[in-house]
Amino acid sequence: GAVVSQHPSWVICKSGTSVKIECRSLDFQATTMFWYRQFPKQSLMLMATSNEGSKATYEQGVEKDKFLINHASLTLSTLTVTSAHPEDSSFYICSATVPGSRNTIYFGEGSWLTVV
């Protein structure tokens, strides 16, 4: 079964509003999670590293004030897209590593965001 779960799978929001995406590790604790974005027919691009109990680390070119990341517990990281615009429409995916799994990285199911 899934070891990393995302919610929602699909979301449509109006321009200017904010939307929150959750990433949960199931049955294990993840001190670090990663958020990726993927536009249609393109590769996955790392947006930020989510660190439990501390600030997220953002990749170059990713606006930290627009993509708010909170990792308040060892099993939950959230990505909030603030003041969403149509160009933010994308597939957002999180990942986490299961401890003791030979560093196997598992991905969530992904969340499709459409901004209208």
Between CA 115 and CA 56 the distance in angstroms is 24
By the 8 A CB rule, do 83 and 13 touch? no
Between CA 17 and CA 84 the distance in angstroms is 6
107 lines the binding site for another protein (CB under 8 A): yes
12 lines the binding site for another protein (CB under 8 A): no
106 lines the binding site for another protein (CB under 8 A): yes
Position among 22, 26, 68, 110 found at the interface with another protein (CB under 8 A): 110
Binding site for another protein (CB under 8 A): 32, 34, 36, 42-46, 49, 51, 57, 93, 95, 97, 102-110, 112
